[in-house]
A and B are shown apart, each in its own frame.
Chain A
Amino acid sequence: MGCVLLSACVGACLCSPQVRAQESGAGSSVGMPPVVVQPGAPGEPTRTLPANTRATLPPLAAADISFMQGMIMHHSQAVEMTALIESHTGNKHVRMLGAKISSSQGDEIRMMRRWLAARGKATSMSMPGMPDMGLEGKTMAPMPGMLTPEQMTALRAAEGPEFDRLFLMGMIQHHGGALVMVKDLFDTAGAAQDAEIFDFVTEVDNGQRAEIKIMQKMLEETH
C-alpha cells in the first residue's frame, strides 16, 4: 500500500512555485522536520508514524450504498407527491411547504446521485431480494413510509382540503419512513462512517423530524 500512496504531491508541487517555495522554506522551528504521530487511547502512549504516512478512509459498508440507492427512490416519491400540489390545492401553506420539500429533496437526490456516481456505484437498486420499484411488475419489500399505489391513487384523485389532508398524512408517513431508514443505517454495524454520508444522514434526520412537526401542526389546524 505504501508504494501506491508515496507519490503524493507530484502534480501539485510542480504546478505552483509558491507552494514549492513554502515547502522548502525552513520554518522558525530550527529546521526540524515535522513529525507524524498517532495518540493511543486515554493514558496510553503516542506512537510515531513513518514520515511518508498517507491518509486512509474508514470502510464503506454495503449498507451505505443500498441506503443511498434506496433513499433516492424514497425522495423521488416525495417529489412526485409535491408535483401534484400545483393542480390539486390552493392552500397557501401546503403550497409553500410543498415547494420547500420539492426543492430540498430534489437537491438531496442530486447529492446522493453524485455520491454514488463518484464511488462508481449505480444510482438505483434493482436486484432480486432488495427493495425495488417493481421493475418486474411486483413490489418487493417496499421501503419504510413509502405510499402504496392505492394511497397514491387516492391522493391523485383528491382535491382541495381532502387533498391537503391526504398529502399531509402521506408526507408525515413518508418522512417517518425516512427516519426509520436512518435508524436502520445507524443500527447496522460499520455503516455511516463515511464523512459525507454521516453528514447527510444527520441532516435528513434533523430536517425531516422538524418537517414532521410542522406538518402535524398544519394537520391539526385544518380540522
Chain B
Amino acid sequence: MKAAMKTALNTALKAGTTVPLAMLIAMVMLAGVKALHAQEQKAEPAPSAQAPAAQTPTAPAKKDDEDEMDAFAPKPAPPLPAGMTGSDPNDPRAKLKPGMYDAGEAAMGIKHVAFLKKPDAFQLNATSPDDPAVKKTLGMLGMSDTSKMAKPMQMVIAQLAFANSDFAFQGNHLFQGNFYGFNIYDIANPAKTALLTSVVCAGGQGDLSVYKNLLFMSVEMTNGRLDCGVQGFPPEPPPEPGHEKERRMPVAQKDRFRGVRIFDISDIKNPKQVAAVQTCRGSHTHTLVVDPNDKDNVYIYVSGTSSVRREEELAGCTGGAPDKNPNTALFRIEVIKVPVGSPQDAKVVSSPRVFIDPRTGALNGLNNGGSHDKGAEKPADTNQCHDITVYSAIGLAAGACSGNGILLDIRDPVNPKRVDAVNDPNYSYWHSASFSNDGSKVVYTDEWGGGLGARCRANDPNKWGADAIFNLKDNKLSLASYYKLPAAQGDTENCVAHNGSLIPVPGRDIEVQAWYQGGISIMDFTDASHPMEIAYFDRGPIDPKMLVLGGDWSAYWYNGSIYGSEIARGLDVFQLTPTKFLTQNEIDAAKTVKVAELNVQNQQKIEWPSQLVVAKAYLDQLARSQALPAKQIADLQKAIKSAEKSHLSAKNVAKLQTMMSGLEVGSAMAPADATRLSALEEILKHPVA
C-alpha cells in the first residue's frame, strides 16, 4: 500500500456545497463540541466520562446531520470517461454476500485450503459490534459517544494500525508483516498452516525480507520505537491559558525509530533485534539485494515516501527542493550494507540520486508528465520510489517511483544507475514491478487511490489502477498493454492493482496478484499485448454499507501453494486446480520448482528440472495453441507415459528422441511455441527422474 490516500480523479463532489454545510454542522454541533473539547484537553487515550448527549438537532439542521452520518456511505462512481471501458458487473465476483468471516466466495481454478484469523495479539478487540467489550474499549480510547456511531464503524476504528502487509518465506516458515509487528507461521503442511510466533513491534508498514538467519523489517511511522514498544510517544499536555504558543516538549525523540530493523531469527520462537538502521524518511518498503560477487554482505534498498524527520532527531536529515538544498533527503533512495557475519554493523553506505538529470546534474531530473500525451505533461517532480524489484541475474532493477517507472543498472549494487524511465498518462502512482523470468517484460502496477479507495467499480476505467505491461529490450521499456481485474467490485470494496509474484509454469509468463478486496487474480501475460485472466478467488465486501479497509495485500506463489495476506481477516492458503486455461501437468511442472527463500522483490531466475512432467506441460501448451498436429501430440504423450512407466528405460528414452527429431516445425509457429518446442526437445534429450 502506498503511504497515502491518493485521491480519486473522478470522485465528483458537488462543489460549493461543502463550505456552508461545514459551517452549518459547526453551528449545530457547537454545544456538543464544548463538552467534547473538555475531554480533548486530556492526553488521549484516557478513560472518558460519560459524554453529555448531543443537542437535539433543530429542524433545518436535521438534513445536514443526516448528511453527516451519510459520510460513512460510499459515493457511487461517476460515469466512465469517454472512450474508456470498465470491468464486468455481471461477473460472479461482482455481487458476493458481504461479511467479515462469512462473506460469500467465488473461485475459478483455485481451491481455498486454509484460512487463519489474524492472531489475537494483533486484534484491537472483538470483531462483533455487539460485544460489550467493544463499547468499553472505545471508551478507553477516548471515543465516548458510540450511540450515534454506525455499528460497523465501531469495529473498524483504527484497523489500519493492525493491518497485515507483505510476506517473506524461508524453508517451512512464512513471515507475515503487519503495521504492529509480524507473525511467523509453520507451512510444512500448507493446508495445516499454524501460527508459531507473534512478534509485537509497532511502526508500519512492516514490509519484510529474509536472508539466512536475518529478517529485515520496514518502519516508517512516527510511533515506531527502537525498543519495539507499542506506546508511541506521549502527546504534549494541554497548554496553560496564555501560553498556547510555547512548546514545552521536545519533538525529536532519541528512542524513535524509522528505518530498517534487523532481527536474528535463529530461534524462530524468539527473534532478537540485532540492529536498527535509521533513515531520514523511514522505510515504506525495502528490497533485499544479493550481490553475486559478494558473499560477505547483503544490501538493502530503502524506499522512503514519508516526510523528512527533524535534523535534531537524526543528523543530516533535511528536506526541501534540491536547487535550494543539495543535501535534501528527498530525491533519493538509500542503500544499507549489511555484513552477514556482523549485522549489528549494518549502515547506510550510499544515497543514490536515481532521479538525476545526467546532462544538467539536477537532482529532480524526472517528472511524471505523460509521454504518451504531450499536451498533458506535468512538471511535478518524482522525489521517491515506492518499491524496487531487483533481478540480479540480469543486472537490472525496476523501480516503481511515484510518477515514473524506472530501470536501474545494479551491477554495482551500491551505486545503481538509471538507464531508462517511463511515465504514463493513465498512471496515478507507480507502485510495484515484476520482471518476466526471461527479463523481456516488466509488469508495473498503478496504486490509484492508495489502496484505500474503491477503484474497481463498473464505472472505473480499466486503464486506471491497473497493471501496465511493458516490453523490455536493450534496456528500453515500451508499453504493450494494461491488465485490470476483469470483475467489477462493489463501492465498499477497496480495490486496485497490488502485489503479486510469478507462478513458475514453464513456457508461460503467469503472475498471481492481489487486488485488495478485489481478491486474487491470476494473469497470463505471455503475450504482452493480450494479457488474460486464467484463475481467481474473491470474497464479498467486509461490510455492505461502508468501506472497511481489507482484502489481499499480497498474493504470492511459494513452493507449490499460493498465500494471501488478508489485511483485516488474516492469512489464506490456496492450491491451483486444473481448468481449460491451466492443466494439471502445468501445475505439476510449476511445483517442481523449489526455492529455499522467497523475497518477491529480490527476483530469482526460475530454472526447471529436466523432468518429463515439465515436458508434458510444454506438450499441453503446444496442444492448446494447436502448434502441432493433434496426432503428433497424442503420440508424444503416449511415448512419455511409457517412458515414465519404464522409469526412463534407455529404449523408451531413445524412442522419445527419435520422435522429436522427426517433428516438422512449421515456419509460421509463434515465438512462444517455438521456445516451448525447443525446451521440450532439451528435456527429452536427457530426462531425469
Contacts and interface: CB of A to CB of B under 8 A. Distances in A.
A121 B36 contact: yes
Given A37-B199, A57-B45, A82 B15 contact: yes
Interface in B6-47: 6-13, 15-16, 18-19, 22-23, 25-27, 29-30, 32-34, 36-37, 40-41, 43-45
B251 A187 contact: yes
A113 B125 contact: no
Interface in B163-200: 163, 172, 179-180, 186, 188-189, 192-200
A119 interface: yes
A118 interface: yes
Please indicate which of the listed interface residues A23, A59, A129 has the most CB atoms of chain B within 10 Å of its own CB. A59
Nearest to B253: A189
Nearest to A92: B375
Please indicate which of the listed interface residues B126, B130, B250, B403 has the most CB atoms of chain A within 10 Å of its own CB. B126
Contacts of A117: 68-69, 71-72, 149, 153
Nearest to B450: A203
Contacts of A57: 45, 124, 141, 158, 161
A204 B180 CA distance: 24
Nearest to B270: A46
Contacts, number: 409
A139 B157 CA distance: 34
B5 A200 contact: yes
Contacts of A61: 43-44, 235-236
Contact of A79 (B16, B69, B123, B133): B16
A63 to B, nearest CB: 7
Contacts of B236: 61-63, 188-191
Interface in B219-256: 221-223, 226-236, 238, 244, 247, 249-251
Nearest to A112: B71
A189 B161 contact: no
Given A22-B116, A56-B230, A118 B157 contact: yes
B204 A198 contact: yes
A142 to B, nearest CB: 14
A91 B274 CA distance: 58
A146 B310 CA distance: 26
B233 A190 contact: yes
Interface string A182-200: 1000111111111110111
How many B residues are at the interface, by size bracket? 35 or more
Nearest to A108: B7
Interface in B307-362: 307, 310, 344
A196 B180 CA distance: 13
B96 interface: no
A9 B275 contact: no
B379 A217 contact: yes
Contacts of B119: 34, 36
A5 interface: yes
B49 interface: no
A111 B128 contact: no
Given A34-B197, A135-B27, A199-B5, A22 B114 contact: yes
B137 to A, nearest CB: 6
Contacts of B122: 55
Nearest to B160: A195
Contacts of A189: 233-236, 247, 249-251
A124 interface: yes
Interface in B27-81: 27, 29-30, 32-34, 36-37, 40-41, 43-45, 51, 68-69, 71-72, 75
A12 B124 contact: no
Contacts of A79: 13, 15-16, 18-19
Contact of B222 (A32, A132, A192, A211): A192
B561 to A, nearest CB: 13
A186 B3 contact: no
A63 B204 contact: no
B235 A210 contact: no
B97 to A, nearest CB: 13
Given A5-B133, A214-B380, A29 B145 contact: no
Given A9-B120, A37-B199, A49-B121, A124 B115 contact: no
B144 interface: yes
Given A12-B128, A203-B4, A203-B6, A107 B13 contact: yes
B29 A124 contact: yes
B393 to A, nearest CB: 33
B307 A186 contact: yes
Nearest to B71: A113
Nearest to B122: A55
Nearest to B137: A4
A89 to B, nearest CB: 14
A38 B33 contact: no
B115 A22 contact: yes
A44 B272 CA distance: 8
B317 to A, nearest CB: 12
B201 interface: yes
A83 interface: yes
Contacts of A122: 26, 29, 32-33, 36
A76 to B, nearest CB: 5
B163 A11 contact: no
Interface in B65-122: 68-69, 71-72, 75, 100-102, 114-117, 119-122
Contact of B193 (A27, A44, A135): A27
Interface string A51-74: 011111111111101100000110
A62 B235 contact: yes
A210 B275 CA distance: 35
B54 to A, nearest CB: 9
A52 B120 contact: yes
B275 A28 contact: no
A137 interface: no
Given A103-B8, A127-B34, A53 B121 contact: yes
Contacts of A129: 244
Nearest to B204: A195
A73 B262 CA distance: 43
A40 B235 contact: no
Interface string A113-142: 110011111111111010011010000000
B271 interface: yes
Contact of A42 (B121, B189, B196, B344): B344
Contacts of B306: 198, 202
B142 interface: yes
Given A60-B142, A79-B15, A124 B6 contact: no
B195 A77 contact: no
Contacts of A34: 119, 194-198
B78 to A, nearest CB: 9
A205 interface: yes
A108 B4 CA distance: 11
B652 interface: no
A201 B305 CA distance: 12
Interface stretch (A13-21, A154-162, A169-177): A13-21
Contact of B227 (A15, A16, A41, A199): A41
A215 to B, nearest CB: 10
A193 B228 contact: no
For the complex of A and B, list the 10 residue pairs with the smallest distance between their C-beta atoms, beginning with the closest: A27-B194, A11-B128, A106-B13, A58-B232, A190-B235, A203-B4, A104-B7, A61-B235, A210-B380, A83-B15
Given A16-B102, A28-B186, 5 more contacts: A11-B131, A76-B19, A198-B204, A210-B381, A213-B381
20 contacts: A12-B128, A16-B101, A18-B101, A34-B198, A36-B198, A38-B199, A38-B228, A49-B200, A54-B123, A55-B161, A62-B235, A83-B15, A117-B153, A120-B36, A120-B145, A123-B29, A124-B25, A127-B34, A195-B179, A210-B380
